Amino acid sequence: MKTIKWEKNHLLLIDQRKLPDKLEYFKCENYKDVIFAIKNMVVRGAPAIGVAAAFAVALADLANEDLEKAAQEIRNSRPTAINLQWAVKRTLSSDSPLEEALRIYREDMETTRAIGEHGAALIDDGDTILTHCNAGALACVDYGTALGVIRAAHNKGKRVKVFCNETRPLGQGARLSVWELQMENIPVKLIVDSASGYLMQQGEIDKVIIGADRIAKGGVVNKIGSLMVALAAKRFKVPFYVAAPMSTFDEENSIYDTIIEERGSDEVLYYGGCRIAPKDTEVFNPAFDIVPSDLITAIITEDGIIDPL
Ligand SMILES: CSC[C@@H](O)[C@@H](O)C(=O)COP(=O)(O)O
């Protein structure tokens, strides 16, 4: 299964808004369709957003659009995952944006497998692993980063079990990670986000593995709730790993310079289509948080396992 497919002159994206009930592709015929898909989370997850953005530049180029203007609009579609900026820069500075987008696409598949290989060495037979959000095949072209490590360990015959945080407000853990792991026959249990500290206190979790939207000096930015998981992991001495490609590294800025995306209030006010708070409730809905380096055991990349910056 591929999350992203290029077909001759258009892009197909698994429509992640519809999972787990329906597996459908969303067709992007021009760069504005891709921007819509990124903003509305048809496609989400840092590496997948990067690959989609690369094809958005390619689509703009094929349609003879003003490339600088299109690139700026694509860059602005979501602010936090640095893979998006990285992919736009690469395709824009290439002589053939389509060739470059296809290269980024192929590299993503190689990278996630290399992350899986390196990370699987850290997993012991019988481990129970906690993950947050979805850093799986659906967040990349395929295979995944954090879930790629789990997939690789499972494929090597290690018996692993997974707890998925549901990941409020949009439920990437419940809707996407559980779905992916079930398809791979990897034992998985869903928990509410606030249960993960209790599980660690009870000694039920051997390792935490999450993905990243940005890694820079000082720490890692990832889905809101990652910081609370990391704090509990430190308190209960559970190793806390981040799995991500080198394209997620921001070498120029401090992690505290990252723009943390704020999303709309309806994501919090409604649950499964039902309003769960009084009308006119004020909401603050940051989509990401910052895990400081001292809470991170190691970062798993395609180049090997490294210390946090
Ligand atoms: C390999 S994906 C890593 C991160 O991008 C992922 O954990 C995450 O935070 C995704 O957030 P999302 O808002 O769903 O795009």
Cβ–ligand 1 contact at 35 (below 6 Å):
no
End-to-end CA distance of the chain: 34
Query: 91 CB under 6 A from ligand 1?
Result: no
Q: Which CATH architecture has domain 4-110?
A: Up-down Bundle (1.20)
180: CA distance to ligand 1 center in Å? 15
Q: 241: Cβ–Cβ under 8 A, 6 or more apart, which residues?
A: 119, 122, 146, 149, 207, 208, 209, 210, 296, 297, 298, 299, 300
Domain map (residue ranges) of the chain: 4-110, 122-306
For ligand 1, say whether the CB of 88 is within 6 Å of any of its atoms.
Answer: no
Provide the pLDDT for residue 285: 98
| β-strand partners of 286 | 262
212 within ligand 1 shell (Cβ under 6 A): yes
Residue 75, amino acid: R
| Residue 231: CB atoms within 10 Å | 15
H or E element that contains 165? strand 161-165
What pLDDT score was predicted for residue 272?
A: 85
Distance between CA atoms of residues 199 and 195, nearest Å:
6
* 122-306 shares the fold of 4-110: no
Q: What is the C-alpha separation between 105 and 54, in angstroms, rounded?
A: 9
CA of 64 to the centre of ligand 1 (A): 32
Active site residue 303: no
Residuewise pLDDT in 10s, the chain (309 residues): 999 999 989 999 999 999 999 999 999 999 999 999 999 999 999 999 999 999 999 999 999 999 999 999 999 999 999 999 999 999 999 999 999 999 999 999 999 999 999 999 999 999 999 999 999 999 999 999 999 999 999 999 999 999 999 999 999 999 999 999 999 999 999 999 999 999 999 999 999 999 999 999 999 999 999 999 999 999 999 999 999 999 999 999 999 999 999 999 999 999 989 999 998 999 999 999 999 999 999 999 999 999 999
CATH code matching the domain that covers 122-306, chosen among 1.10.443.10, 3.40.50.10470, 1.10.3720.10, 3.40.190.10: 3.40.50.10470
**225's tokens:** 């709730």
Q: Which of 33, 108, 213, 289 is catalytic?
A: 213
Atom of ligand 1 nearest to the CA of 243: 1
How many Å lie between the centroid of ligand 1 and the Cα of residue 175? Answer: 13
